[in-house]
Structures are given as structure tokens and as C-alpha cells.
Amino acid sequence: MPPQQCVEVALLAPLPAPLSYLVPPGEVPPPPGTRVKVPLGRRSAVGVVIGCGVPPEGVRLKQIQQRLDSTPLFDMAWLEFIRRAAAYYLFPLGLALKTALPAGLASLEKAPGVKHTAIYSASARDGQPGGVVQRRLLEFIRSRQGVAMAAIRQRFASPYAALRRLEELGFITRQQCEISRDPFSGQQIQADTAVTLNHHQAAALRELCRAVDAAAFAPFLLHGVTGSGKTEVYLQTIAATLEQGRQALVLVPEIALTPQLVGRFRARFEQRGARVGVLHSGMSAAERYDMWRAITRDEVDIVIGARSAVFAPLTRLGIIVVDEEHDDSYKQGDGFRYNGRDLALMRAQMAAVPVVLGSATPSLASFQRAADGAVQALLLPQRVSERPLPQVTLVDMKAAAVEHGLAQELRDAIAATLQRDEQCLLLLNRRGFSPYLLCGDCGASYRCPNCAITLTWHKSSGVLRCHYCDYQQCPDDTCPRCGGSAMEPEGMGTEGLAAALAQLYPQARIARMDRDTTSGKGSQQQLFERMSAGAIDILVGTQMIAKGHDFANVTLVGVVDADTTLNFPDFRSAERSFSLLTQVAGRCGRGDKAGQVFIQTYAADHPALQCAASHDYAAFAAQELPLRQLLGYPPCGHLVNVIISGLEQSQVEQAARQLAQQLGGAAEVEILGPAPCPLARLRNRHRMQILLKAATRPPLRRLLNGHHGWKQGLPPTVRIDIDVDPVDMM
């Protein structure tokens, strides 16, 4: 009798390592990539088979309870990519797989169902049925090659009885066919053709096509000013990739960018027979499941999506594009804290394909890699058609005449823009009506009971809300501390700015673009369509409006309170401010009309703002990089942030001190802390952090890999999260 076999299973649960399970006698071992139901303690759990073998001697193993998939969900190359990513970010493989797989596959609950429809076809029988409706219906089916039920319902009010009779008489046949939920339902596209490139674009395209032909790993930084035609370079490079029978993966930082980009890709490629797919969190679980299955069946040529799309199971990958590569949104903030841009580089290296990092304001890390020769820089120094960059004015708010938060210069510019029937974008990087309500008598404000932060006032919904844990409450009529009636909004958010603009410009059509107004499915697409159609005069928004949007009639951009990001307690605050201001400035003057930008600030002499006003990335990098070098911060060093959190502050502080002592004394690693996180309490958990800093990665890896037993001796309510290459230090 052959020995019983076992499989290695990565459970989609918080376990540090995979477990081994026996294959039931007489059954064939499920291949790697297959989900199985297995016992785990007194309950059952879902896991993914990652290998097969022979049971170790002297160890009692439990048996697999059920095989959940008839075929593997992915191939071994994809599994190796997830394994390497999990190892780099010091995250359990099972939970990394849970993050990468579509929702619904990680639990014992029923996965999103496969959708079927009835397809009717005419049989070989001659003649005509007796009923009038039956004859009309049969004629409709005979005129087509297979008719879906949805198409029949559009033409006939109640076709069911007639269909049954035609089937009984043998005039038609019916079969059930699987159909995918269409994420593009209702979207209309017009065919698009490639445009003639300028000499900078053509030079970049030649280098990229050469790399595509070589079919080898080749990282590029496509550094082009806003409006320089980076997307057209992507499109023509991907066209060359598709001609070789290979696939493309395109990453964008926000799902808000997806509709415009997808529309442009579909207009360019679907007329040629190429299939464009999307993957992002704005899709329903069923749509993501259908798209995943379509990709695994090799039915998609181009995948476009946000950071999680880096896990798309493409098997003929030929190129990866990371648009707006500088954006912090590529970094996952909790759980599997991966960076989509960095994993794109890892995946391209493993798949031996070129990868393009595109931005008008590259991250200093990418810029430094290009300077060191690790990445090839491709420059697009001018806008298409030699259009000028917008003129930028820094408005010193210390001497400005301000009304409703807007300086006189900006108010006049808005009025003139509206007079010319042109459009405005106004950036204020705060949601809500105002950041908080403040008592004028005693200075009290409403604070979140779960987080160390004030509650934001949302006037339209009449609630105070925490933007971290989503706690909500209605304000009292009187001050909760002194009983006074002087609770007034302080400061301004996007909702408050939109209300102020409505008073200043009552005839203007004003809209908002922030997470409050774009949470509904299709809401971003509707905003884009309204802007493109000229149905919006002034669009107010958070940093969402600064990312990659292209509206030809926008000729004015205003930035309200540009100091918001500049004063964050983070060494990257200057870099973020420069990128945000440069990007939002680049939204105007993209058509035939010149653009102008007004940036309101109390720090008009700050180097980052001065460089942004002159569109001078090189000058900013020349000022910022020496400071990073002096302090040993990225890209001139490497960081790992260890976050200790728990329900009891004393336990968290004690655990942080204990962990710092364990980590202390490591060669070549500087240990900063423990110290409270800038946001010291989040979702009712007290938080401390220990920052590990080193000039190179190997000392950090040795230190981290040598401390697997960090949780030993810690209270069960204390949690340790390891953030490799942190982006958000809050």
C-alpha cells in the first residue's frame, strides 16, 4: 500500500507559518494553488495548498476535510511572487494570500456565485409555429447566432410561455452559459487612434520598445512635466507589447483615476480586439471575482487598477506601468503593509519584463535610483504641442485681504474665469464643513472617544465624524463642558469652502470631489463626465483632484491653505507638499488656453513652495536630498517602523520598553524610541512606535529575522505591527 501523502497548506488566518495536512486515503493530492477546508483546533478554516510531500515520521497530522476548487486559482510563479513579497514585509504567507485573492475566497461562506444566463438557438426544424408571438420570437432567434435571455426581454414583454412552447415543439434549443458581470456597464466609448509623438516622447518610446523586444527586466523612470504626454507613451508601448502576444499591467494610485484611464485604453485597444480589465476596491466582490477568473482564463490582455491590481494573475506578462509612482496611496496602511510600486518592481524582476515608473514629481527614492544608474531615466521636459506650464503665484496670507478663506487675488481670478466660461479647480486638503466645533466661552471641542483627534463637523449631514474610525455623533445644543451656547465651526473643509463659494458666486455651478461625495459606485465617473461636458464651473476637492485628471477647459487652480501638508510631523512633509502643489498646478492650462495658479500660504518663502511655483523639480531635489543624507532618512537610508498597540496604555508602554531592550545593541542599526505615535490612540488602541534606521537593508533584515518571538511574554491584547519601508509615520 503506497504511503499516505500530505500537503503543505497556508491557512488564510493569522498564523506565522504554513501547516501540514494528510490527504485522505485513496484521494489524489490537490495541486498547489487549490483551496482546501481543513481542521484548525476546534473549528475549520480555509487554506491554500502550496506544496506536496510525505508525512514526517512521528508526527500526527490531521486530514483535509474538503477540496474547495476543481482547478488551481493561480500558477507557481504567482505563488512564488506572493511568498517573496510576504517574506520582504515580514507578514504571514496565508494572510498575504488572503489579501491578494479576491474577496469571498478566504472564508467558508459561499464565494461569489458564477452567473449564468440562458442562450437560445434555432434548431434545424423547418416550418412555423401557430402563435403570432411564437412566430415573431422564432424569427428573432433565427436571425441571430445564439440569443441571450436579456436580449429577448428587451424586445418582448413576456416571452417565457412562448419560449417554453417553442422549445417543446423543437424549434429552438436552450443551454446555460456562464456570463461575467460587466464593470463597464452603461459606459460609452469612442474609437481612438495613436497621435504623433514629439521628439522627447518618440525617444522614450524607442527605449521602451527596445526593452519590450529584449523581454528582460529593465526599470525605467519616465519623468515628464504635467501634460507632457506620458499616457500616450504608455499606450504606444503597450500596443507594441500586445503585438508580441503578451499582456500589460497598469497601476494607478487611486480608483478615482481609473474611469478616465480605462476609457482611454478601451477606446484605443478594444477596436483592435484587445480586452481591457479592471481590478480595484470600487468594484463589487462579485465583479472582482469574475474579473479574477477571466484573467486566470487568459481572457484579458490589459489589467488596469489600483495597488491591489499588482496581484493580478497574468501569465503572459510583458510590461508593467506604474503611473504617478510617487503617490503615497500605493502603500497599504494596515494589515499587509506592502507598497504597490515596489512590488511592481519585484514582480517585473521575477517575470523578466520592463517596468515603467511615471511621474511629473518622482519620489526622491526613484529619482535617486535613477541618479545612481539603477533605473534608466527617460525625460519629457515640455508639454505636448509646446503648451506653456501655468503661471504660479504664491499669495502671502499674512498680508492678504481675506473673505470666506479666499484672498482677494484668488477671488478676482475666479470671477474672471467664470466670466470667460472657463472652469476652476480649488484644492483644500480637508474634508467636512470645518475641522471642529469650538466653544467660544471655554475653548472645549468635541473629541473622538476612540481616537486622539477632534471630530470633524459635517454640516450637510448634521453630524460630527471621526475620519479614522468613522465614529459619529450629533452635536449638543450647548457646550458639553460649560453649558454655553457659543459652539461655532472653526477652520474650513471642502464642504465649507463649497458653501462659501456658493455665497460669493451664486450663479456658478459648484461640485465637490472628496471621499464623502465619491463613495457611491460610479460617482467619480459622473463627476468626470459633468466636468468634461462643462456642467461644472468650480470643482472643490481634496488631493483627489490633483491626480492625473485632464480637463481641457480648466484654466484656474487655487490652493487654499497650502501649509496643511507642510506642517505635518514627518520628514517627507516638504516632498509631499511639493508633489501635491506641482501636480494640482498641472491640472490647468492643458488645452489651448493658458492656465494660472494661486497658492495661499503663510510660508511663501519656504523652499518647497518656491520650487513648486517655478515647476523646478531638480532644484527641490538638490535642496532636499542633502538634508535626508544628513539625517540618514530614505532614500539615503532605510527604515522599519515597529508599532505596538493595545487597549491598556500601561501595558503598551511596558511592552514597548521591553521590545526596545530586546532590539537594542544591534550593530549598524539605530533604534529610536519607544515613543508615542503622533496619533497616540487609534480605534480605541493606545499606540507606541520604535523606529529602526540603518544605512543599508541587510542589518535591518538580520535584526528583524532574529526576533521571531517578539510576542512571547506579552499580554494577548498587545499587538505588534511591522511596517517595512514606512510611508505614513502618523
Vertex 512 angle, CA 487 and 473, to 5° = 35
Q: Are 230 and 583 in contact (CB under 8 A)?
A: no
Give the pLDDT confidence score for residue 113 in this predicted structure: 60
Average pLDDT over residues 189-203: 86
- Helix runs in 244-281, H state only: 258-269
Vertex 173 angle, CA 169 and 177, to 5° = 155
Give the pLDDT confidence score for residue 625 in this predicted structure: 96
List, for residues 232-253, the tens digit of each pLDDT value. 999 999 999 999 999 999 999 8
477 vs 483: CA distance, rounded Å: 9
What does pTM read for this prediction? 0.88
Give the pLDDT confidence score for residue 3 in this predicted structure: 66
Give the pLDDT confidence score for residue 248 in this predicted structure: 97
Average pLDDT over residues 419-432: 92
The pairing of strands 487-490 and 218-224 is unpaired
With cut-offs at 50, 70 and 90, classify the pLDDT of residue 188: low
Q: What is the enclosing helix (H) or strand (E) of 645?
A: strand 638-646
Lowest mean pLDDT among 414-428, 517-531, 604-618: 517-531
List, for residues 571-583, the tens digit of each pLDDT value. 999 999 999 999 9
Q: Are 598 and 409 in contact (CB under 8 A)?
A: yes
Q: Are 389 and 225 in contact (CB under 8 A)?
A: yes
Cα of first residue to Cα of last residue in the chain, in angstroms, is 60
Helix (H, G, I), strand (E, B) or coil at 115: strand
606 vs 576: CA distance, rounded Å: 13
Lowest mean pLDDT among 48-62, 308-322, 709-723: 709-723
Closest CA to 6 of 36, 31, 29: 29
Phi first, then psi: give them for residue 371, nearest 5 degrees. -65, -30
396 vs 606: CA distance, rounded Å: 11
Report the percentage of the chain scoring pLDDT > 70.
95
Give the pLDDT confidence score for residue 110 in this predicted structure: 56
Per the structure block, which three cell numbers stand in for 295? 484573467
Give the pLDDT confidence score for residue 119 in this predicted structure: 77
Q: Domains of the chain by range and CATH?
A: 6-100 (3.40.1440.60), 115-179 (1.10.10), 199-385 (3.40.50.300), 387-433+492-627 (3.40.50.300), 638-724 (3.30.70.600)
